[in-house]
Chains A and B, each alone.
Chain A
Amino acid sequence: MILSVPAMLLLVALVIGPAILVLFLSFTNASLGLAGIRFIGLANYTRMLTDPGFAQSLRNTALYVAVVVPTSIGWGLLVALLIARSRFAVLYRTAYFLPVAATLVALATAWEAILHPSLGFANTLLQLLGASPVRFLSDPATAIYALAAIGVWQLVGFNMILFLAGLSTIPEELYEAAAIDGADRGLKRFLLVTWPMLAPVTVFVTVMTIIRAFSVFETVAVLTQGGPMKSTSVVLYTFYQEGFRFFRVGYASAISVSFFVFVTFLSLVQMRVSERRARWKASGGQP
């Protein structure tokens, strides 16, 4: 009991304390550096609901998440299945995991060169295939998807590693048993053995991916700064701008509190649903 006191103190000082402070600030009109903080109740929260800029950033984030989460999970699983038994597994694993290990900011700069509207490799490729060039990051219609593609590219490796770990824990006997029942290969075997056994890993991967997709920030900050015309201004970028560029600490705190509540809620729902499904699957499909 007494031994946990230092840890508790640190936790309070570094995590819980600041969190409470942020919650408190979200009910004030605090502005960085300006003296005088006034209590304004829920005004920051009502403003958030009516602020078209914030609504736009919510839409952008939702779009980003809708692309990144299913794609990076599906792709990660596919890659894991394909390379699990490959002779070059180590090589593939390294290649796919590289984006996870490297600094995203540095790699974003590389992406900038690839996606350059006229000099970039991506457009050279498109033109070779007979398509017309795309202004990826400069066009409000495509910018968020270009960022989503980078997000997928970065998350696939991470998800793949987790799925590989999950695959390695499936006992060989299950496959043997399935083979006796006639499910010895392909989709049948996948649906009967692999997929249900991967359920716990899938839950974890999904929750992690959702949270990471919602927290997209670095690529936006480095590549587009929320532009063109706010088409890539996501929730965390709006938060950063309000707090650190416009100095509206109160409003930024309200955004961060809402973001926290939202992500927590979403993760809880997701976990609950998947847990139930996993249990349902485990009991042989009987409700």
Chain B
Amino acid sequence: MKTLAMILAAGIAAAVMPAQAETKLDVYYAWPEHEVIHKPIAERFMADHPDIKISFRAAAPSYDEAVQTLIRQSMAGELPDVHYVGFNVLRPLVTRGLVKPIDDLVAADHLTDKGYTEQVLSLATIDGHRYGLPFAMSTPVVYYNADLVKQAGGDPDKIPADWDSFVALAGKVGALGKGTSGMYYQLGSDDWATQNLVRNFGGQMMNDKESDIAFDGPAGQAAVKLFKRFHTDGAQPAIDSHAALQLFTSGKLGFFFASAGSVSGFEAEIGDRFKLRTAKQPLAAEDATMPTGGMVAVILTDDPAKRAAAWEYIKFATSPDGQSIVVPNTGYMPTNTLALDKDHLAGFYDKHPNWYTSVLQTPRARPWFSWPGDNGVQIGEVLRDEMTAIALGSKEPEAALADMASEVRALLPKTD
């Protein structure tokens, strides 16, 4: 009788327990091609945490569109529990109250002892509050066609570290003929590339108090002039980035500036067509910095049980194990310094030097500046359009910079 009761009790417990403990997390990310990293991370995590179930929503085509979807979902009360938000659009989500501070979780967990450096955590810090854990980072690197560089008389092992020699070498590649162009400094669809150029001269977009723009100072002046020289001396064609990308992958372009996050994609696309290599960006100033691209894992749910589960999940995604899935499949830099040890990525980097370039640039990586107010996306477009005007030769660099300054000022919140 006693045993029967025990068996019964055990049976009831077994039947009830999993239902009680199971927590379901809805995860949403941008870029459908990133399935290659999100799925294995979720599988590994669920194997370790049988009580938590991860399900993915259909991926958004870009960071911008992910934000639009989230804003719509927030009005319908259908937000996912975890999202990977682009660094540049974290601020609008915080402004709209969709992402709330996680200072309590970070402090309770002593994250700084677990491979999360202050520099990395600062990427997801706004006005002193932590809003998430950076999940993938990248800086702009120089992709180059080593075969063309050699043909033009350059040394593929030593890409110039100063802009003058770099532009000169690009010019030589452009002079090879047969439809070859020298270089392409990609502006992209936002202001990442423009920020990068201003920061390369030690400048910044706004002053520290964010009371006025700062990009029209000496650093910005030098940056726009350099951008013009890419076209006049560096044989950069005035075409759109799509077209330039095709030009590069087909072996007709010497240098291509893009996010380190694309290494994996580039290698797959180019294959053996030519020798693809990456190099650090040339630097114009001692205090040059770079805007960090990539994404932050944020928690959107308010439910305490889900929030705790989500915290475990994003910690795993940003742990050395999680990062060992992210890096080889994309080209992003790990956000956790412990991931660089020999149990994780050290061996991988030895075999894949193209992946390592961005890691070498880490000391200069700073937050991707996001504009105060509601007009960030449009400001990005203003900057891109004026830079395009320089590229096409329809505006002188100084004039374009002056127009940028006045247009951006008009779009910033009024301070009195």
Chain A residues near B (Cβ < 8 Å) = 31-34, 112-113, 116-119, 135, 137-140, 224-225, 227-230, 244-247
Q: Which residues in window 371-399 of B have CB below 8 A to A?
A: 374-375, 377-378, 384-385, 388-389, 392, 394
Task: Provide 9 A-B residue pairs closer than 8 Å at the C-beta atoms, listed in order of the A residue.
Answer: A33-B71, A33-B75, A116-B247, A117-B237, A117-B239, A137-B243, A140-B394, A228-B240, A245-B64
- Contact check, B96 vs A137: say whether CB atoms are below 8 A apart: no
The CA-CA distance from A84 to B73 in the complex, in Å, is 53
Q: Which residues of B contact A225 (CB under 8 A)?
A: 189
The CA-CA distance from A76 to B378 in the complex, in Å, is 40
- Contact check, B246 vs A116: say whether CB atoms are below 8 A apart: yes
The CA-CA distance from A119 to B74 in the complex, in Å, is 45
Q: Which residues of B contact A244 (CB under 8 A)?
A: 68
Q: Give 6 A-B pairs besides A116-B246, A119-B250, A246-B374 with Cβ atoms closer than 8 angstroms.
A: A33-B74, A34-B96, A118-B239, A118-B247, A137-B243, A228-B392
Chain B residues near A (Cβ < 8 Å) = 64, 68, 71-72, 74-75, 96, 98, 179, 181, 189, 237-240, 242-243, 246-247, 250, 252, 374-375, 377-378, 384-385, 388-389, 392, 394
Q: Tell me what chain B mostly uses at the interface: helix, strand, loop, or mixed.
A: helix
With contact pairs A229-B394, A244-B68 given, residues A118 and B237 touching in the complex (Cβ less than 8 Å): yes
Q: Tell me what chain A mostly uses at the interface: helix, strand, loop, or mixed.
A: loop
**A261: shortest Cβ distance to chain B, in Å?**
26
A-B pairs, top 5 by smallest CB distance, nearest first, are: A33-B71, A138-B239, A33-B96, A117-B239, A138-B240
- Contact check, A135 vs B239: say whether CB atoms are below 8 A apart: yes
- Contact check, A32 vs B71: say whether CB atoms are below 8 A apart: yes
Task: Choose from A34, A119, A246 the contact partner of B375 (Cβ within 8 Å).
Answer: A246
Task: Choose from B68, B71, B98, B252 the contact partner of A119 (Cβ within 8 Å).
Answer: B252
Q: Which residues of A contact B75 (CB under 8 A)?
A: 33
Closest residue of B by beta carbon distance from A34: B96
Closest residue of B by beta carbon distance from A118: B179
Q: Which residues of A contact B68 (CB under 8 A)?
A: 32, 244-245, 247
With contact pairs A33-B71, A34-B96 given, residues A229 and B385 touching in the complex (Cβ less than 8 Å): yes
Q: Which residues of A contact B392 (CB under 8 A)?
A: 139-140, 228-229
**A33: shortest Cβ distance to chain B, in Å?**
4
The CA-CA distance from A158 to B247 in the complex, in Å, is 35
**B7: shortest Cβ distance to chain A, in Å?**
55
- Contact check, B375 vs A138: say whether CB atoms are below 8 A apart: no
Q: Which residues of A contact B64 (CB under 8 A)?
A: 245
With contact pairs A117-B237, A228-B388 given, residues A112 and B247 touching in the complex (Cβ less than 8 Å): no
The CA-CA distance from A227 to B242 in the complex, in Å, is 12
Q: Which residues of B contact A32 (CB under 8 A)?
A: 68, 71-72
**A123: shortest Cβ distance to chain B, in Å?**
10
The CA-CA distance from A228 to B71 in the complex, in Å, is 29
**A159: shortest Cβ distance to chain B, in Å?**
30
The CA-CA distance from A168 to B68 in the complex, in Å, is 49
**A181: shortest Cβ distance to chain B, in Å?**
58
**A81: shortest Cβ distance to chain B, in Å?**
38
Q: Which residues of B contact A33 (CB under 8 A)?
A: 71-72, 74-75, 96, 98
Q: Which residues of A contact B189 (CB under 8 A)?
A: 225
Q: Which residues of A contact B385 (CB under 8 A)?
A: 227, 229-230
**A120: shortest Cβ distance to chain B, in Å?**
8
- Contact check, A246 vs B237: say whether CB atoms are below 8 A apart: no
Q: Which residues of B contact A135 (CB under 8 A)?
A: 237-239
The CA-CA distance from A140 to B375 in the complex, in Å, is 25
Q: Which residues of A contact B246 (CB under 8 A)?
A: 113, 116, 119
- Contact check, B374 vs A247: say whether CB atoms are below 8 A apart: yes
The CA-CA distance from A254 to B221 in the complex, in Å, is 38
The CA-CA distance from A117 to B242 in the complex, in Å, is 11
With contact pairs A118-B252, A229-B385, A229-B389 given, residues A31 and B238 touching in the complex (Cβ less than 8 Å): no
**B83: shortest Cβ distance to chain A, in Å?**
14
The CA-CA distance from A117 to B377 in the complex, in Å, is 28
The CA-CA distance from A229 to B381 in the complex, in Å, is 10
Q: Which residues of B contact A224 (CB under 8 A)?
A: 240
Q: Which residues of B contact A227 (CB under 8 A)?
A: 240, 384-385, 388
Task: Choose from A31, A117, A246 the contact partner of B243 (Cβ within 8 Å).
Answer: A117
Q: Which residues of B contact A229 (CB under 8 A)?
A: 385, 388-389, 392, 394
Q: Which residues of A contact B378 (CB under 8 A)?
A: 245-246
Give the one of B240, B242, B377 with max A CB within 10 A: B240
The CA-CA distance from A32 to B68 in the complex, in Å, is 8
Q: Which residues of A contact B74 (CB under 8 A)?
A: 33
The CA-CA distance from A112 to B189 in the complex, in Å, is 17
With contact pairs A228-B388, A229-B388, A229-B392 given, residues A137 and B250 touching in the complex (Cβ less than 8 Å): no
Give the one of A34, A119, A135, A229 with max B CB within 10 A: A229
The CA-CA distance from A207 to B188 in the complex, in Å, is 38
- Contact check, A116 vs B243: say whether CB atoms are below 8 A apart: yes
The CA-CA distance from A116 to B237 in the complex, in Å, is 12
**B66: shortest Cβ distance to chain A, in Å?**
12
The CA-CA distance from A135 to B394 in the complex, in Å, is 15
Task: Choose from B181, B240, B374, B389 the contact partner of A137 (Cβ within 8 Å).
Answer: B240
- Contact check, B238 vs A246: say whether CB atoms are below 8 A apart: no
- Contact check, A245 vs B72: say whether CB atoms are below 8 A apart: no
The CA-CA distance from A207 to B345 in the complex, in Å, is 63
Closest residue of A by beta carbon distance from B378: A246
Q: Which residues of B contact A247 (CB under 8 A)?
A: 68, 71, 374
**B194: shortest Cβ distance to chain A, in Å?**
14
Q: Which residues of A contact B374 (CB under 8 A)?
A: 31, 34, 246-247
Q: Which residues of A contact B240 (CB under 8 A)?
A: 137-138, 224, 227-228
Give the one of A118, A135, A224, A244 with max B CB within 10 A: A118
**A196: shortest Cβ distance to chain B, in Å?**
47
Q: Which residues of A contact B388 (CB under 8 A)?
A: 227-229
**B173: shortest Cβ distance to chain A, in Å?**
14
Closest residue of B by beta carbon distance from A133: B179
The CA-CA distance from A225 to B375 in the complex, in Å, is 18
**B131: shortest Cβ distance to chain A, in Å?**
17
Closest residue of B by beta carbon distance from A109: B242
